[in-house]
Structure 1
Amino acid sequence: MADAMPRMLRTDAQDNRDRVLDAARQLFSERGIDVTMRDVARHAGVGPATLYRRFPTKQVLIDAAFADELRTCSGIVAEGCADPDPWRGFRSVIERITVLNVQNQGFVDAFMSANPQVDSVAAHRASLLRMLTQLAARAQRAGGLRADFVMDDLLLVLMAGRGLASAPTEHRAAAARRFTALAIDALSASGTRADLPRAPRLASAMVHNSR
C-alpha cells in the first residue's frame, strides 16, 4: 500500500500536467499567446498553484506547448533543403509551413514575435531562417526563384498567411494551399504558371451567411 501511494501521486501529477498542456495548446491555438496563466489554469480545471508547480513561468509553458510544432517546422525545412531540386524544395517549405501555421494562431504569434516571453523560439527561428536563406540562394542559382527575391519577401508571405486563421476552420487548409500557390507564382522566375489548387468557397459562404 505504501508503494502504491507514490505511484498514485505521480499519476495525478502527470494527469494535471497533461491537462494543463492540452488547455494551453487549445487556448494558444485559438486566441494566441496573450492568454494568461490564470486562463490556462481555469480551462484545465486546476488551481493556479498546481499550474505553477508544473510550469513556473509562462515561458516554460510556451516551450512545452509548442515543442511538437517546432519539431514539425524543423522537419519541414530540413526536408525542403534536402530536396535535390532547390526550387521544388523551397516551394514545399512555403506551402507546408503556411498550412501548419494556419492551424495554430498561437504558434504563428510565437514564431513571428519579438516578445521576450518567447525568446526561446528566437534561436529556433534564426536557425531555420539561415537554412532557408541558403535554400533560396540555391533556388535562385537554379533559375526557379526570381533573382530579386530577398528573405523579407518570405516573411511577408508568412505574415500575410496569418490572416487565413480568420477563415472558417473547415476551409483553412484549402485556403492556405491556394494562397501559397498564388504567392509562389509571384516568386517564380519563369513566366510559366502552374494550375492553382481548388479555391475554398469563402465568398459564397459570406454571401449565404449575410442573408
Structure 2
Amino acid sequence: MPRRPRTLTDAPVRLVKVREVTVPLPHPLRSDALDNRERVLEAARTLFATEGLNVPMREIARHAGVGPATLYRRFPTKRTLVVEAYAEEVRACHAIVEEGLADPDPWSGFCRVIEKTCELHIDSLGFTEAFMAAYPDAMDFAADRGRMLGAVAELARRAQRAGDLRPDFVPDDLVMVLMAHRGIHATSAATRRATSRRFAALVIQSFQTSPTRAPLPPAARQAPPPHG
C-alpha cells in the first residue's frame, strides 16, 4: 500500500508547555525586580533573534529600559543571560526529539523532528548560534546537542531499518540542515516561516529513500518585485 505523502500540518511547537525557571533564585524577588528581570530576558531574546549573540550587554539594558547595574546584578555574565534566555528552547528541542522517538512510525517521527526543529529555530538567530556552539563563550550547548543528536541517531536507525530513510544519512546531516536553515532571511516573520516550511519539505524529500514528490508548501517571495 503506497505511503501517504507527508504534510506540514502537525501542530506548531508550543514553548509555553516547557516554560519554567531553570536557575533557582536565591531569595524571592520584589515585584519590581521580577519585572526588571523579565524585561531584560525579553529584550535579550529580541536582540539575539535579530542581531545574534554579539549584541552588547549595555544595548540589552537600554532596550529593556534598565540600567547596566540592574542587568549585571541579575545576569553577571553574558553566559548567564544566554542560559536563561534560551532555557525554554533547549527543553523544546528535547521534547521534539522525544516526540519523534515515541511515534510508532519512525519515518513519520523523523519528519516531525525536521519540521518542528526548523520551526523552532526560524525566529531566533541567537538560539541557532548558541545551539551550534558558534558562540562558545556565551553558552556551551555541547551536552544538550550531543544528547539530541544521539536520540536523532536512534530514530534514524529505526527509519533506515523500515526502509524509508536513505541508508547514508548520518546525524551530522541534521547539523548541516540547521546551518543552512540559519541562512533564511526575510523582511517579515510570515515570509520567514513560509520559507522555513518549504525548506523543511525539500530536506525531507532529499532524505527519503524513494521520495514521494508530494507537493511542496507554497513558495514565499524573497524580494520585492522589480519596479516598472
SS of 1:164 mapped into structure 2: coil
Which has a greater percent of helix?
Answer: 1
Partner of 1:67: 87
Q: What is the total number of aligned residue pairs between the two structures?
A: 200
Which residue identity lines up with residue 130 of structure 1 in the other structure?
G
- Indicate the residue corresponding to 1:171 in structure 2: 191
Q: Which residue of 2 aligns with 1:26?
A: 46
**Per the alignment, in what secondary structure is the counterpart of residue 165 of structure 1?**
coil
AA partner of residue 10 (structure 1): R
Q: Which position in structure 2 is the counterpart of 1:158?
A: 178
Structure 2 residue corresponding to 1:45, chosen from 65, 70, 73: 65
Displacement of 1:100 in angstroms is: 1.3
Alignment partners' CA distance in 1, 2:136 and 2:207:
32
Which of the pair has more CA radius of gyration?
Answer: 1
CA distance in 1, matches of 2:187, 2:112: 22
Distance in 1, Cα, partners of 2:151 & 2:72: 36
CA separation in 1, counterparts of 2:195 and 2:122?
Answer: 9
| TM-fit CA distance, 1:191 | 4.1
Alignment correspondent of 1:206: 224
Deviations 1:76-106 (A, max 9, x none): 1110111111111111111111111111111
| Residue aligning to 2:4 | none
In 2, distance between residues paired with 1:114 and 1:160?
14
CA shift at 1:119, angstroms? 3.9
CA RMSD of aligned residues (A): 1.6
2:174 is matched by which residue type in structure 1?
Answer: L
Deviation at 1:201, TM superposition (A): 2.8
Query: In structure 2, what is the equivalent of residue 149 of structure 1?
Result: 169
Q: CA contact under 8 A between 2:99 and 2:109: conserved in structure 1?
A: yes
Deviations along 1:2-38, one digit per CA (max 9) or x if unpaired, are: xxxxxxx711211111111111011011111111111
Provide the TM-score with structure 2 as the length reference: 0.82
TM-score, scaled relative to structure 1: 0.89
Unaligned runs of 5+ in 1: 1-8
In the alignment, which residue of structure 2 is the partner of 1:13? Answer: 33
Tell me, yes or no, if structure 1 residue 129 matches structure 2 residue 145. Answer: no
The answer as to whether partners of 2:133 and 2:140 remain within 8 angstroms in 1 is: no
Q: CA deviation at 1:121?
A: 1.9
CA distance in 2, matches of 1:73, 1:107: 11
